[in-house]
Structure 1
Amino acid sequence: MKALEHPNRNRFFRQMGLKWYNVAPIDDETGLPILQEQQPYGMYHCHQVSSSMVREIKRATRAAGSVIKKTWEVVRGFDDETLLSLGFPKRSLRVIKADSSLPFAMRLDWCWNELTGDKKIVEINCQTPSFWFECLEGNRFAAHHFNLGDPNPEAKELVPTCLYKQLETAAQKLGKKVNQCTVGFTALNNVEDMGTMHWLSQHLKGCNATSLLFPLEFLGIKENVGLFYTRNNTKIDILFMWYPLEWAIHDRDEQGKLLWDSLEQLILKQKVVLVNFASGFVLQPKSLFSLITDLGWDFFGGDAATVFEYFPKTSMLAENIGHSYFAKPILGRQGEGGYAVYNQDMLVEGSGKNEWYTSQAYVYQDLLDLPTIEIEDNEMTALWGSWLINNGEEEFASAGVGLRLSTGPITDDLSYWCPIGI
């Protein structure tokens, strides 16, 4: 495919600033990329979309944000037993109850099929940096390169404004001003996660806060004291840590000691503020879709039409959905462990079968017909993504739309990014 082999492809993405235009699977044991299995990720192509479609996706995203906020508020009021029944790990309960800040940012994945009329959210991803730069920055560069219009012009001003408001809120919790705080940005040490965090950290310029960018292995814990950047022993006041909480509760130090108890105490005693960590994890379990279905349209009042139109029927029992459904682990990520059933027969399974995911409880959603897009005579499955960012006024603003394409019916972490332009 020319879009993956074009002679200008490498230079195009380097000029854009996208270092992860090729990606590699991660070795489960070492946590390092398997370079010999590297595959192309970015497509040297810009898919033309209408301004009306982009406006509609953003309008739907903003409307969904209101439903998501109400659901987030409901979940935070649940007792331990109810939270456990929704799949929250027991060790996560205290921190998610303690963090009353609305999450900073999340990506919604959509089945946006204009042909069939299916326009439903299939995932809420609140603890991942993936696909952020691409939607908000990369599309702008690609659209200009291919003589098309920027689909996300609002993002240029919105991201730094919203980021600074998050810092103000976090600093207030510590009894400090932003310019008195050291702000850390960290994620897993791979080119995509760290590249995205570098991009996000650049939006802090001009706010006079000290900022540090470093991979997760350089984050140290001093019990009852704080979190530190270990290379120069700098204490972190505010941390943007894009790392799954359900993984963090199992992490151990080099001596095999669990790290979670110490981290939990630092969070609870407000020795450090972790943005979008515990608060974002409230929205991570797929059982929230089941909860939205169970709460029903009447509960959401003026947002009932949004629930009806954009949220698929979901249950924690397959028989409540019927003979055709898509099943996914409650804490699933990147399509791992997912499978589709049509008329009681297995239709398709995801490529990932990691026991961490397949051993979890599952949720079951209406089986949706994902749209396809033809690129150079290749018909590919399309998954649309859109971003919601906390505007600092207890609301979510729509900030960015993007497109992922896959050769198979289930989008995973090795699917392609296809830039879009108006």
Structure 2
Amino acid sequence: MDKRDAFYSTIPSFWDRLYGEEYALYDCFPIEPKEVCSIRKATNEVYRIYKKFTQMLRHAPDETFIDLGFPEKALPFLKLSLLPYETVIGRFDFVQTEEGLKMIEFNSDTPTFIRELFEVNGLVAEQFGMDDPNDEEAKYLGKALRNSIFHCAKQIGVTGHPYVVFTAHEEDIEDRETMKFLMKTAQIKGAAFVPLHQLKVDAGRGVYDGAGNQIDILYRHTYPLEALLEDVAIDHFPIGIECMNLVNERKVGMLNPASAFLMQSKAVMAGIWGLHEQEHLFFTADEHETIDRYFLPTYLDEEPFIEKNQRYVEKPAFGREGDTIVVRENGKTLHSSKQTTYNHYIKIYQKYACLPKTLIATEAGKKEAHLLIGSFIINEKASAFGYRAGAQITDNLSYFLPCGVKGEREWI
């Protein structure tokens, strides 16, 4: 414990403990160079499927979006496409199975786990005498952020240096310090961190910081769009809707863009799987092969699994951190999350994938834990990845398990 605390105390403003519990492990999970390559390959190929499907989905009628679980309030904004890529920072979650890597979901709008993988993983790997598989990815992330901000500014007609504000709930250390890390990495002249509660939305005019300065681009990476749409002031002024109206009117830019939200619904996986199962010509033969390799059977009802007596997972279309998850088989509930925060969203049903186990070093000694791989797609290119270790349902109490590579750096 002393060695662990001494090490993490050297990393300023990092949340190595969350909710009073150990979060970042003083341990380094060894991986092979070929694993780095396979995770990056899977990330790139799965993203291409998502992009093709969502570009088609953008032209669908409103009824289709409702069927996929999107909030009715989001409908006026779902077809916005203001950048040359659908999302700036997205994260796929993969499981390593006997059949290879399987993707279980895509957080395309507000993925966390950023500073852990783009900064801290490398520090831990060095401490344990291993190579960081994410070496140089922070530089790429900074370049991608600057590129996105440039395109966003151009779309709203801003010339020169835009005033970029990074925002989050100030009291949440993970959200706040994630945004400050992104701001530091982006190296944008004149950018500022402004807590969410200090922002002011003036309908028809713009978004302003606490000092009354008009914001050109609002980076709300840790504030989900579905939550923003429900944001209402004490006097019942619809802050979120009016903010999105300003985005629609190009009076303020927003990152992640609204197009990232179009990929966020887990029901998108059911749409992709449905076309694949029909052998639909929308996907090429190679794309069908990619779906078969990396996707799990996913539906908008549970009957296909009940008929085959297969174990499956029930998830809300919008949900995070293992909240509102149920694992079932033969009509019986095998596991369920304690929280049911997202129970009001429609559910999707996905074939169960057993997370592999490994031994991890914690303050309390060696423990057996399940592994989940988080892999980032940054401006349409696979980037940093890493591991969460915890229960069979990965939740916000799971550990961050740093990883490192021994041997030749074959992935570069």
TM-score (norm 1): 0.89
Q: In the alignment, is the contact (CA less than 8 A) between 1:129 and 1:193 conserved in 2?
A: no
1:415 aligned partner, one-letter code: S
Question: Which secondary structure does the structure 1 equivalent of 2:394 belong to?
Answer: coil
What displacement does 1:97 show? 1.3
1:8: which partner in 2?
A: 3
Question: Which secondary structure does the structure 2 equivalent of 1:187 belong to?
Answer: coil
1:360: which partner in 2?
A: 345
What displacement does 1:123 show? 1.3
Question: Which secondary structure does the structure 1 equivalent of 2:167 belong to?
Answer: strand
Paired residues for 1:248-263 under 5 Å: 248-263=228-243
Question: Which secondary structure does the structure 2 equivalent of 1:202 belong to?
Answer: helix
What displacement does 1:223 show? 1.5
Paired residues for 1:103-142 under 5 Å: 103-113=87-97, 116-142=98-124
1:35: which partner in 2?
A: none
Please point out which of 233, 236, 254 is paired with 2:212.
233
Identity of aligned residues (%): 29
Separation (CA, whole Å) in 2 of partners of 1:194 and 1:66: 31
Q: Does 1:303 align with 2:292?
A: no
What displacement does 1:304 show? 1.9
Separation (CA, whole Å) in 1 of partners of 2:46 and 2:218: 27
What displacement does 1:10 show? 2.4
Separation (CA, whole Å) in 2 of partners of 1:404 and 1:285: 22
Question: Which secondary structure does the structure 2 equivalent of 1:134 belong to?
Answer: helix
Please point out which of 312, 320, 331 is paired with 1:344.
331
Question: Which secondary structure does the structure 2 equivalent of 1:97 belong to?
Answer: coil
Separation (CA, whole Å) in 2 of partners of 1:157 and 1:245: 27
Q: In the alignment, is the contact (CA less than 8 A) between 1:185 and 1:211 conserved in 2?
A: yes
What displacement does 1:174 show? 1.9
2:79: which partner in 1?
A: 97
What displacement does 1:382 show? 0.8
What displacement does 1:129 show? 4.3
Deviates more, 1:273-282 or 1:311-320: 273-282
Q: Does 1:188 align with 2:172?
A: no
Change (3 A) 1:275 1:180: same
1:257 aligned partner, one-letter code: F
Separation (CA, whole Å) in 2 of partners of 1:325 and 1:79: 30
Q: List per-residue Cα deviations over 1:256-291 (Å, max 9, x = no partner).
A: 332233213211110001011411111111101100
Q: In the alignment, is the contact (CA less than 8 A) between 1:154 and 1:399 conserved in 2?
A: no
Segments ≥4 residues shifted beyond 3 Å: none
Q: Does 1:223 align with 2:203?
A: yes
1:3: which partner in 2?
A: none
2:15: which partner in 1?
A: 20
Separation (CA, whole Å) in 1 of partners of 2:140 and 2:34: 21
Separation (CA, whole Å) in 1 of partners of 2:72 and 2:199: 24
Question: Which secondary structure does the structure 2 equivalent of 1:120 belong to?
Answer: strand
Question: Which secondary structure does the structure 2 equivalent of 1:16 belong to?
Answer: coil
Q: Does 1:415 align with 2:410?
A: no
Separation (CA, whole Å) in 2 of partners of 1:330 and 1:220: 30
Please point out which of 373, 384, 389 is paired with 2:373.
384
Q: In the alignment, is the contact (CA less than 8 A) between 1:221 and 1:262 conserved in 2?
A: yes
Q: List per-residue Cα deviations over 1:275-317 (Å, max 9, x = no partner).
A: 1141111111110110011121542213222111111110001
Q: In the alignment, is the contact (CA less than 8 A) between 1:129 and 1:197 conserved in 2?
A: no
Please point out which of 324, 348, 357 is paired with 1:372.
357
Separation (CA, whole Å) in 1 of partners of 2:351 and 2:190: 47
1:314: which partner in 2?
A: 298
Separation (CA, whole Å) in 2 of partners of 1:12 and 1:234: 40
Q: In the alignment, is the contact (CA less than 8 A) between 1:127 and 1:280 conserved in 2?
A: yes
Q: List per-residue Cα deviations over 1:174-199 (Å, max 9, x = no partner).
A: 2223x431011112221101111111
Separation (CA, whole Å) in 2 of partners of 1:98 and 1:52: 38
TM-score (norm 2): 0.91
Unpaired stretches in structure 2, ≥5 consecutive residues: 406-412
Question: Which secondary structure does the structure 1 equivalent of 2:10 belong to?
Answer: helix
Separation (CA, whole Å) in 1 of partners of 2:33 and 2:197: 43
Q: In the alignment, is the contact (CA less than 8 A) between 1:315 and 1:321 conserved in 2?
A: no
Please point out which of 135, 157, 174 is paired with 1:153.
135
Separation (CA, whole Å) in 1 of partners of 2:266 and 2:202: 34
Q: In the alignment, is the contact (CA less than 8 A) between 1:328 and 1:363 conserved in 2?
A: yes
1:57: which partner in 2?
A: 39
What displacement does 1:118 show? 4.4
RMSD of aligned C-alpha atoms?
Answer: 1.6
Paired residues for 1:397-408 under 5 Å: 397-406=381-390, 408=391
Unpaired stretches in structure 1, ≥5 consecutive residues: 1-5, 25-37, 391-395
